[in-house]
Amino acid sequence: MRDALVAAAFQLFLERGYEQTTVDDIVKTAGVGRRSFFRYFPSKEDVVFPDHEQALAQMQAFLAASADADDPLVRVCEATRQVMRMYADNPTFSVQRYRLTREVNGLRTYELSVVWRYEKTLGDYLRTRFADRRDGTLRANVVAAAVVAAHNHVLRSWLRSGGKGDPLAEVDRALQFVRETWDPAGSGAETPADRADEDVVVVITRRNTPMWRVVREMESTLGEG
């Protein structure tokens, strides 16, 4: 019934436009009563985003099930990947909805509020995980925003292309960029701050520096010069 209402709604939105379609039109096309519609969707706007409530609940459950040993950055990236999978599983529907949200101003702001709820969910989780860090709350909010921005960067470009290519591979690459920004240790490199804490030596040099000069620099850093 729920799926039939969504299908009927999108059929009409595409045929005559979102604004020109009423809830009465939708229930008539779906062959159900008005009350059935409102049992599933509080408003006409909600039928455009039938999957986000479940995806948000899934994200919250996934993050709540995290162990203390889990890398929080890896966790939020995995949680965000699941949202992309929801879009990727239904390319036709995703692209149709995208075109609709471009045309109808009210749907775009609705979408912004959905995006904000994902960001808040990720931020809430990161805040508890970063609670003992200096600037933990700030860091949690900034990282959550960065993760969402990376996801939306890939999502928008995939939707704009009409659903071509592999958005999951792309989002992995974009999330990797975010992970490397804050957790380069996980990707084989390290941040200056990380390195300062460990017994590791870093040499940064221009490519055309003569080797003897590099060695001298390293020896003096190592205290062997």
| Residue 108 binds its own copies, judged by CB under 8 A | yes
Shortest Cβ 41–its own copies spacing (Å): 17
DSSP 27-80: HHHHT--HHHHHHH-SSHHHHHSTTHHHHHHHHHHHHHT--TTS-HHHHHHHHH
According to the binding rule CB under 8 A, does residue 190 interact with its own copies? yes
For residue 68, the number of C-alpha atoms closer than 13 Å in the C-beta half-sphere is 1
Do the beta carbons of residue 120 and residue 53 sit within 8 Å? no
Among 131, 166, 219, 220, binds its own copies (CB under 8 A): 219
Residues 6+ apart with CB under 8 A from 69: none
In whole angstroms, what is the distance from residue 173 CA to residue 20 CA? Answer: 40
From 48, 38, 60, select the one nearest 102 (Cα to Cα).
48
Among 87, 174, 179, 183, binds its own copies (CB under 8 A): 174
Contact 23, 37 (CB under 8 A): yes
- Minimum distance of its own copies from residue 136's CB (angstroms): 11
Q: How far is the CB of 30 from its own copies (least distance, A)?
A: 28
Per-residue binding letters, 127-166, with its own copies (x by CB under 8 A): --------x-xxx-xx-xxx-xxx-xx-------------
Beta carbon of residue 17, minimum distance to its own copies (angstroms, whole number): 22
Contact 114, 52 (CB under 8 A): yes
41 burial via Cβ count (<10 Å: 0-12, 13-18, 19+):
buried
Candidates 39, 85, 215, 220; binder of its own copies (CB under 8 A) is 215
Question: CA-based angle 45:50:53, to the nearest 5?
Answer: 105
* Closest CB 113 distance from its own copies, rounded Å: 5
The minimum distance between CB 160 and its own copies, in angstroms, equals: 12
Q: Please choose, out of 15-23, 32-40, 52-60, 200-208, the segment that lies near its own copies by the rule CB under 8 A.
A: 200-208
In the complex with its own copies, which residue's Cβ is closer, 90 or 161? Answer: 161
Q: Is 133 left (phi over 0), alpha (psi -120 to 50) or beta?
A: beta
109 lies in the binding site for its own copies (CB under 8 A): yes
Among 6, 55, 100, 178, binds its own copies (CB under 8 A): 178
Distance separating alpha carbons of residues 87 and 83, to the nearest angstrom: 7
| Contact footprint for its own copies (CB under 8 A) | 108-110, 112-113, 116, 135, 137-139, 141-142, 144-146, 148-150, 152-153, 174, 177-178, 180-182, 184, 189-193, 195, 199-209, 211, 214-215, 218-219, 222, 224
